[in-house]
Structure 1
Amino acid sequence: MSVTTAPTNRLGTFELVALLAALMSLMAFSTDSLLPAMTDIAAEMAPDDKSRTQFLISFFLLGGGLGMLIFGPLADSFGRRGALLAGVGTYMLAAVAAAFAPNLELLILSRFLMGFGASAARIVSQTVTRDLYSGADQARVASLIFMFFVVVPAAAPLIGQQIIVFVGWRGLLGAYVVFGTVILTWYLLRQPETLDPAHRRAFRLKPVIAAAREVLTTPVSARYLAVQVMMYGQFIAYLSAAEQLWVDALGVGEAFPIYFAIIALLSAGAGFVNSRLVMRVGMRRMLIAAFGSQTAFAGLAFVLWTFGGMETASDPVRIGVFMAWSFSLFFINGLTLGNVTALAMEPLPHVAGTAAAVIGAFGMGLGMPIAAGIGQAFDGTPRPIMLGAFACSMVALALVASDMTRERRQRER
């Protein structure tokens, strides 16, 4: 069967939504399902410095961000099916390499390549939706895909934990090959090429470089890119250290995936809340409220943990306080990410698609050193993560406030 010619029948809505949601979930599943394996990986590969295993998460996400810059142009040049085959093929080969990695350094490199390849699945899911639908229909299908997708962060750690019980952490990496094979085969057998031959473009990185230059030299875009860097910095730091936070600092043991699932499910409605409020309140005011709240929540959590006796409090109290703060971090991240991206792209409508990929890649890439610095400061308590979130949120708040001041002065002229 040719990658570019077969099949020809259009899928029904239910199967198409399920397929595109599976593609969207590849990165999230490959991130969150590994969290329960971090203790076992550290025991084998980093017994003297467990925090080094955090790079397995952050480098995967960094690879994903960079991959979006490549697979977007590839999908427009070689078709959606060709880009997916190249990306998921890379993901599966890297997963095999990860399963047999003899040391942590090669495992981290393999995870980076896995993220790079997995980004193709996300790009293809988004572009196919745009190819087949427009206007209200596109919004409806995107919402249905999100309904499927939102379950993944909640279920992935539980699934990963069960796989580890039966086949160990290396077996989990092998399971990623199976997952990649299933969704790639499903797509190639069932979904026709959606790129109109008349719209094919030669593969060029020049537009990406030009868009990156515009993002960095346009003051409003650069400001909100910096806001996104702060967001990714604190969120990736939390995600990378999540297993250490819940298992080592709070002692929840094998119940960690359950707590993580509860937080993910409770925060899943953030996008819906934002969609209901943003038209009435405005994006900038929403961001001021959100980052102001997170600065307060993180600051309060840090004070409670440092001066409020949390170290000697009962387990239910400690877990309850940390869970409440974790929920605020997840919920506010979901509430603000779309607004920050939209504001960063607002001055760049002529390069919107490429600019979105650049902003996402730069946000992750520049946020990762911040996340690494916060994560490597882990001292057996949640304090460094809380302090890092406080600092990042305060900087983000200041950046948005300065933009509101700029906008108000422009209106007054």
Structure 2
Amino acid sequence: MSFILSAEARRDPAALPYYEFVAMIALLMALNAAAIDVYIPALQDIGSALGVVDENKRQFVITAYIIGFGGAQIIYGPLSDRFGRRSVLFAGLSIYLLGAIAAIFVPTFEALLFTRLVQGIGAAATRVIATSVVRDRYHGPQMASVMSLVMMVFMVMPVFAPNIGSAVLVFGTWRELSAFMFLFGLAALIWAWARLPETLDPANRRPLRIKPVAEAFRIVLTNRIAFCYTLAMASFFGALFAFISQAEQVYTGIYNIGPHFTIYFSMVAVFMAASSFANSRLVSRFGIKKLSHGALLGFIAVAGLHLGLAMAYGGATPFPLFLTLFVIMMCFFGFVPTNFNAMAMEPLGRVAGVASSVLGSAQTLGGGLLGGFIGYLYNGTLIPLLSGFLGLACLSLICVLVAEKGRLFGAAPRAVITKP
């Protein structure tokens, strides 16, 4: 069998074997995690090399990518519903590669932020297309199971990315990190071009005209379940982005771990990945709502406890206690995003591309801005971070209560095909 799918096979959504399909979607999602996390150990070096005095501004290297990544998703959905998943994916990856290679040669911090923004804009296509092709092939609990496996790989990437970044810094500078990410993106492009079939049914292609696109947006934004779970995801992701922005400062500034802090960062990511894998196994047995709602309440309880203890200890808990409580919180985290995303997407099958872009844009852009704001409040203690965790998780719970009309742990709704 040839590695490159034939023209006929590329039109068959089932042409790609299940495990290869999951692996490819996971790689596309992992590209974004790597593009964020690989730079974490290099923020101090970037600041020193490019003359950034305010250490909190170094976080903008992360935030700029997230803003581009979140904001551009809203464009790729309508394009993928019109032109198909493959062509839009390749266009986005090409933009990403241009931004990655340009970042190698930037002379100023502002120029680096611009190239990071461009990278995020290009990589946004991978998020939209990954979610859309899964929704094209799977529904309900099966979709949640597939996305859990994808998210498991996505969450494993933070185990490796910071350590890869540290390894690159041993032999080179932060500029080589962009070269590494260019090669990563190129590998994803080649694999998808050779093996990913077109999953969009020709009957579901939507004209790229203002009226039908606006109507699709109206469907997404007026569906209570989809809209509220999207806002819940944005709030919850804000907590994750806040920690990613502050990770180096927390580990090296508060706890004086030094350059080996990536080991502890990776340890937390391992538990996140494990909980996501557990979700893929348990979601069909216990139900999407029971798992995700229970995990959200657990996250809120531990975040509140950790905040109270941090205040009692004068701003930061002892490191063993910090790590223990943080691992518990991130275990709860692994049961929330994929299930919330599946519930938001479930009623929107006929407009999956636009739905994926609207949901992804709101979740990532909203979460990135909220997380960036909390990250910028860093003051040498855990108080801003943990206060942000608690506040954003409570906001997420409020959105879930609105979506569910005040009832938690209910049965998952039957699939609804929303007609534009």
Shared fold by TM > 0.5? yes
Deviations, residues 3-59 of structure 1 (Å, cap 9, x unaligned): 998696866666555444322321111111111111111223353211112222233
Please tell me the residue identity of whatever aligns with 2:395. Answer: V
Aligned residues: 403
Distance 2:133 2:114 in 1: 30
Deviates more, 1:339-348 or 1:115-124: 339-348
Do the aligned residues in 2 keep the contact of 1:90 with 1:113 (CA within 8 Å)? yes
Deviations, residues 267-286 of structure 1 (Å, cap 9, x unaligned): 21323444565566655554
Deviates more, 1:392-401 or 1:106-115: 392-401
Distance 1:326 1:193, change over 3 A: same
Please tell me the residue identity of whatever aligns with 2:168. Answer: I
Distance 1:221 1:150, change over 3 A: closer
* 1:372 equivalenced with 2:372 (yes/no): yes
Alignment match, 1:96: 101
Superposition TM-score, scaled by structure 2 size: 0.81
Distance 2:350 2:195 in 1: 34
Alignment match, 2:91: 86
Please tell me the residue identity of whatever aligns with 2:112. Answer: L
* 1:120 equivalenced with 2:125 (yes/no): yes
Distance 1:163 1:227, change over 3 A: same
Distance 2:22 2:262 in 1: 27
- Aligned CA RMSD, in angstroms, stands at 3.6
Give the number of the structure whose residues are more often helix, by fraction: 1
Alignment match, 1:314: none
Please tell me the residue identity of whatever aligns with 1:301. Answer: H
Do the aligned residues in 1 keep the contact of 2:151 with 2:273 (CA within 8 Å)? no
Which residue, 154, 159, 167 being the options, matches 1:162? Answer: 167
Distance 2:141 2:293 in 1: 29
Alignment match, 2:55: 50
Distance 2:114 2:319 in 1: 34
Deviates more, 1:110-119 or 1:397-406: 397-406
Distance 2:249 2:365 in 1: 23
Distance 2:370 2:350 in 1: 31
Distance 2:170 2:158 in 1: 19
Please tell me the residue identity of whatever aligns with 1:293. Answer: G
Alignment match, 1:331: 331
Distance 1:326 1:140, change over 3 A: closer
Distance 2:280 2:194 in 1: 36
Deviates more, 1:173-182 or 1:73-82: 73-82
Distance 1:281 1:405, change over 3 A: farther
Do the aligned residues in 2 keep the contact of 1:284 with 1:400 (CA within 8 Å)? no
Deviations, residues 146-203 of structure 1 (Å, cap 9, x unaligned): 5554432211111121112212111111221222222223333455656566665544
Distance 2:144 2:346 in 1: 19
Distance 1:143 1:376, change over 3 A: closer
User: What secondary structure is seen at the aligned counterpart in 1 of 2:298?
Assistant: helix
Distance 1:107 1:154 in 2: 25
Deviates more, 1:394-403 or 1:27-36: 394-403
Please tell me the residue identity of whatever aligns with 1:372. Answer: G
Please tell me the residue identity of whatever aligns with 1:152. Answer: M
Distance 1:345 1:139 in 2: 10
Please tell me the residue identity of whatever aligns with 2:229. Answer: Y
**Deviation (angstroms), 1:103:** 2.5
Alignment match, 1:294: 299
Which residue, 221, 226, 235 being the options, matches 2:231? Answer: 226
Which residue, 64, 72, 80 being the options, matches 1:75? Answer: 80
**1:9-408 to 2 correspondences below 5 Å:** 17-45=22-50, 47-128=52-133, 145=150, 148-191=153-196, 201-204=206-209, 206-275=211-280, 283-308=288-313, 318-345=318-345, 348=348, 350-401=350-401, 404=404, 406=406
Superposition TM-score, scaled by structure 1 size: 0.82
User: What secondary structure is seen at the aligned counterpart in 2 of 1:48?
Assistant: coil
Please tell me the residue identity of whatever aligns with 1:69. Answer: I
**Deviation (angstroms), 1:374:** 0.9
Deviates more, 1:145-154 or 1:249-258: 145-154
Distance 1:285 1:141 in 2: 18
**Deviation (angstroms), 1:91:** 0.4
Distance 1:126 1:375, change over 3 A: closer
Do the aligned residues in 1 keep the contact of 2:43 with 2:58 (CA within 8 Å)? yes
Unaligned runs of 5+ in 1: 312-316, 409-413
